[in-house]
Amino acid sequence: MPTRNAVYPAKRHALYDIHRYAPAIRSGDLLFVSGQVGSRNDGSPEPVFEDQVRQAFANLREVLAAAGCSFDDVVDVTTFHTKPDEQIETVLAIRAEEIGQPPYPNWTAVGVNWLAGFDFEIKVVARIPSTTSGRSADKC
């Protein structure tokens, strides 16, 4: 049975240990990133929604970078929202800043009623660049 090839960012935050999960798992040339929330290093949520979304994207960026990836390598995005009608415009504005220009990755937005004290979560699947692209895929 293959072993899990876990990827951790340099600034590992407390939620990974508290809830016992890996930030990402590498499988071949794909990276499956666990849902990232707007948590501070101690695992507590950013209290302001916009700051929470920005921190979730920052946490995601760090996990992607640990595997030699960036937002350019993301092929699939799933976001979770506790109050989608109230939150979507803020999320769309920050997402546009972070994800950039077309072609955009797939995106599924899901309304939920609980995110363990958070109001936004983002998980992605990325293709890990080959070493021929000048970026290393061996950082996992």
pLDDT in tens, 45-103: 999 999 999 999 999 999 999 999 999 999 999 999 999 999 999 999 999 999 988 99
Judge whether 138 lies within some domain. no
Judge whether 140 lies within some domain. no
Structurally, the chain folds into a number of domains equal to 1
Residue 136 has pLDDT above 60, yes or no: no
Q: What's the predicted TM-score (pTM) here?
A: 0.87
Q: How many CB atoms lie within 10 A of CB 124?
A: 27
Judge whether 111 lies within some domain. yes
Q: Are strands 120-127 and 106-111 parallel, antiparallel or unpaired?
A: unpaired
Which of the four pLDDT bands, split at 50, 70 and 90, describes residue 133?
A: very low
Judge whether 18 lies within some domain. yes
Judge whether 94 lies within some domain. yes
Nearest partner of 56 among 23, 20, 27, judged by Cα: 23
Q: Are strands 106-111 and 74-81 parallel, antiparallel or unpaired?
A: parallel
Judge whether 46 lies within some domain. yes
Question: What DSSP assignment string belongs to 14-61?
Answer: THHHHTT--SEEEETTEEEEEEEE-B-TTSPBPSSHHHHHHHHHHHHH
CATH code assigned at 40: 3.30.1330.40
pLDDT recorded at residue 30? 96
Judge whether 66 lies within some domain. yes
Judge whether 31 lies within some domain. yes
Structural domain including 84 reads 5-128
C-alpha angle 61-130-136 in degrees, rounded to nearest 5: 60
Which of the four pLDDT bands, split at 50, 70 and 90, describes residue 2?
A: low
Encode pLDDT of 8-32 as tens digits. 888 766 766 777 788 999 999 999 9
